[in-house]
């Protein structure tokens, strides 16, 4: 004979299963696989660190070819960083005033000189830590490498870059959605959610204001580490993975011990397939 308690458990069982299924389905699955039946694939990634951010040269990923999409992540610490580079299209940015601050973006800029923002919101300089995301389609006569001058002077503070190549991406309007976070109050890095569709490539870019080993910030679940660079007093990471269903990605947190909270600048973006 069923007791009242057992009847309650039987009724609750299907409800609990439904709740767990809805919670699981609320966030799209991310696949570490680099191919999606002719969709977007990760061709390769290069990275470089430069002591003063001047004449910083980075090679185009080996194997990239005409029609591929290049996604460039420029980073700098304690100095200015251009938001515009000729021949590239800006896709996102994060300028931080100090560790505990959130990201400032180009719409916050109130004093612009050429490709640089001199002042944000009439108060901030945004040169504590910064990163800018740029895209470009590989042309028939594409150079093998690119050189960037991150400041207006002959010397400056360190700069670094990570350049990744994607095949099968929409090169005309590549970015579906992007978001930023400048202080996550978490020793690990918690990337903000973005909207995604099945077949999109999710890219997660981290700029960190200390030199750290790669193992401290492992790729978030369902993604792979595409790029990593660390030197002196700074580091950069790039993670990526294919989105397997429609909807917001949810917060994507790195794995590992992490490091000082709020010393990172984070950008999430989704890339459309062609």
pLDDT grade for 155, boundaries at 50, 70 and 90: confident
Alpha carbon distance 260, 185 (integer Å): 9
The mean pLDDT of 176-193, rounded to a whole number, is 95
Identify the CA nearest to 206 among candidates 73, 89, 113. 73
The Cα 273–Cα 171 span in angstroms is 9
pLDDT of residue 3: 42
Residue 256, CA atoms < 13 Å, CB-side half-sphere: 14
- Rounded distance, CA 194 to CA 192, Å? 7
CA angle 107, 112, 113 (to 5 degrees): 150
pLDDT at 55 over 50: yes
Greater confidence (202 vs 2) lies with: 202
User: What's the pLDDT tens digit per position in 88-106?
Assistant: 999 999 999 999 999 999 9
Break the chain down into helix, strand, coil percent, rounded to 5. Answer: 10, 45, 45
CA distances from 230 to 53, 94, 120, 205, 206 (A): 14, 19, 28, 14, 12
Residue-wise pLDDT for 65-83, tens only, equals: 999 999 999 999 999 999 9
* pLDDT at position 204: 98
Measure the CA–CA gap between 109 and 112, rounded to whole angstroms: 7
Region 117-130: what's the mean pLDDT? Answer: 96
Tell me how far apart the alpha carbons of residues 226 and 269 are, in angstroms, rounded to a whole number: 14
């Amino acid at each position: 004979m069923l007791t009242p308690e057992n009847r309650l458990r039987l009724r609750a069982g299907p409800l609990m299963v439904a709740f767990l299924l809805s919670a699981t389905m609320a966030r799209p699955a991310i696949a570490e696989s680099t191919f999606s039946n002719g969709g977007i694939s990760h061709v390769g990634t290069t990275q470089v660190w430069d002591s003063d951010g001047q004449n910083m040269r980075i090679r185009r990923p080996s194997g990239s070819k005409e029609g591929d999409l290049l996604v460039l992540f420029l980073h700098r610490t304690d100095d200015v960083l251009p938001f515009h580079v000729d021949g590239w299209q800006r896709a996102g940015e994060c300028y931080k005033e100090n560790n505990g601050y959130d990201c400032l973006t180009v719409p916050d800029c109130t004093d612009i000189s050429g490709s640089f923002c001199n002042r944000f919101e009439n108060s901030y300089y945004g040169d504590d830590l910064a990163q800018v995301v740029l895209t470009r389609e590989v042309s028939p006569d594409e150079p093998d490498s690119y050189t960037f001058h991150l400041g207006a002077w002959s010397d400056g503070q360190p700069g670094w870059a990570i350049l990744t190549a994607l095949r099968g991406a929409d090169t005309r309007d590549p970015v579906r959605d992007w978001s930023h976070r400048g202080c996550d109050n978490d020793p690990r890095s918690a990337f903000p959610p973005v909207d995604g569709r099945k077949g999109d490539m999710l890219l997660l870019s981290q700029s960190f204001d200390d030199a750290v080993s790669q193992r401290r910030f492992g790729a978030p679940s369902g993604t792979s580490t595409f790029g990593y660079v660390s030197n002196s007093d700074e580091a950069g990471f790039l993670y990526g993975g294919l989105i397997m269903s429609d909807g917001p990605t949810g917060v994507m947190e790195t794995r590992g011990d992490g490091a000082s909270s709020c010393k990172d600048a984070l950008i999430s973006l989704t890339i459309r397939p062609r």
